[in-house]
Amino acid sequence: MRELTEQEQVRHEKAKAIKEMGIDPFGHRFERDSYAMDIKEKYKDVDHDAFEDIDNTATVAGRIMFIRKMGKASFFSLKDKTGNIQVYISINDVGEDVYKLFKSADIGDIVGVKGKIMKTRTGEVTIKCLEYTHLVKALRPLPEKFHGLTDIEERYRRRYVDLMMNDESRNVAFIRPKIIRCIQNYMDGRGFTEVETPVLTTLLTGASARPFITHHNTQDLDMYLRIALELPLKRLLVGGMEAVYEIGRVFRNEGMDPKHNPEFTLLEAYLAYSDLDGMMDLTEGMYQTIARDVIGKMTYNWYGNEINLEGPWKRISMTDAIKEKTGIDFKSITSLDECLKLASEHDIELEEHEKQYGHIINKFFEKYVEETLIQPTFLYGHPLEISPLTKKNPEDPRFVDRFELFIGGKEFANAYTELNDPVDQLERFEEQLKEKDLGNDEANDIDMDFIEALEYGMPPAGGIGYGIDRLVMLFTESESIRDVILFPTMKPLNKDK
């Protein structure tokens, strides 16, 4: 049994005393009719003296965050999901027994208050308590008010305390679902249908990533947690649904840093009879709609950069972007030996499976260009080798019709003119197996059922994937993915230490 601190012992004794008074220290249902911020907004412009003539009562519930106990009258601050409101409580209004109950309250306790709205001489909207209800006794003290959880790791591990103490964390927690709802409305309004596809799969397909592996006991079958949503959604295009999207968790068995979490939320969308340009238009419109309708501004400060989401956004090919920074025009280079020589001259290290034209171009992009793309930029024209599911460019088959959206030097979206040629797709899968044999543990498996689906005919289509967590990071101006995921993956604490 954990040894209680002195403060915790006092709180346990108070809980016992409350129970002896015939009151459940951990409460029951309580009917409220108002929220803190709604009350403050409604009455913010009402003069102090005007409250005498207003019939205004409210019932609220929340956590006590501050107490100033005095003799026969006190003030405390009550916090609900919308914010804080001040409460004035007097022995003359609630009676001696109830006031005694209040005097035993601690910061962190949850209470209900029914009272009359008033405004103090200093102009603060306040509830004059007429009925006080104890609901829950907090047996642990909250962190000290002005410091909260100063250990960032503790903030993520004990998110419930972080949400109590940190208004910024609360704001992010409430903004995130509003952003997702805005995206759903935006997509639905453009004729898309939201669907659900399997989380468990027997093949590693749809992205280049290391998987989490699990086991189905009944079938004695090893399975993967999905790394992408792509191939099931494209099957739905074959089936005639034409415009589909999914917002769902995906899982990649990779490292953690401020921009990556092993499980994250992905939005993928596929639109029949569209292409790369259609996905660019869809994306620019979606970001600008979120900016206007949810956040209410078009400019964001992120990682020290001023990001302006007003359009039109820049569009540039990968080879042109590299040429701008290095003077090297990879589009005019046809010799692999020349590419290898350039990589060596620029100190670019290559794994065995990366000693190919397309991988070398991508390495140059990552070294010289990626971090310089600050304002929203659609980077298109990726090499074939790094895009196994994408339609070849009809003018230069060394490249594919793909783009990535970069903002603040970081990738925000990945889009294709979708590959719908089953013969070409099978060849790409076979090339992926060769890369796997060369040591690429992120290469795709062959999905023969998907090849069969393509053989029935998939319409020309545009497709795109967005990392929702990074999108929320931008709109909330957060610099760590852990700030926008309520329960990020954390290494377990060693309880023995």
pLDDT in tens, 52-108: 777 789 999 999 999 998 889 999 999 999 999 999 999 999 999 999 999 999 999
Beta bridge mates, 224: 201, 213
Report the C-alpha gap between 62 and 110 in whole angstroms: 5
Q: In the chain, where are the structural domains located?
A: 6-142, 165-313+375-483
pLDDT number for residue 53: 76
Structure tokens at 320: 């042109």
Q: Which of 279, 246, 281, 292 is nearest to 265 (CA)?
A: 246
- What is the rounded average pLDDT of the residues 288-298? 98
CA end-to-end distance (rounded Å), the chain: 16
User: DSSP readout, 123-161?
Assistant: --EEEEEEEEEEEE--SSPPPPTTT---SHHHHHHTHHH
409: left (phi over 0), alpha (psi -120 to 50) or beta: left
> pLDDT tens digit string along 270-285?
999 999 999 999 999 9
pLDDT number for residue 280: 96
Q: Say which residues have a Cβ less than 8 Å from residue 203's Cβ, sequence separation at least 6.
A: 224, 445, 446, 447
> pLDDT tens digit string along 206-253?
777 889 999 999 999 999 999 999 999 999 999 999 999 999 999 999
> pLDDT tens digit string along 40-62?
999 999 888 888 777 789 999 99
The reported pTM is 0.91
Please give the class, per CATH, of domain 6-142. mainly beta
Please give the C-alpha separations between residue 328 and each of 225, 359, 387, 417, in angstroms, as whole numbers: 41, 15, 22, 27
Report whether pLDDT(440) > 60: yes
For 11, phi then psi, to 5°, come to: -65, -40
350 in Cβ contact with 360 (< 8 Å): yes
Report the C-alpha gap between 260 and 356 in whole angstroms: 27
Give the CATH number of domain 165-313+375-483: 3.30.930.10
Which residue has 């999901």 as its token pair? Answer: 81
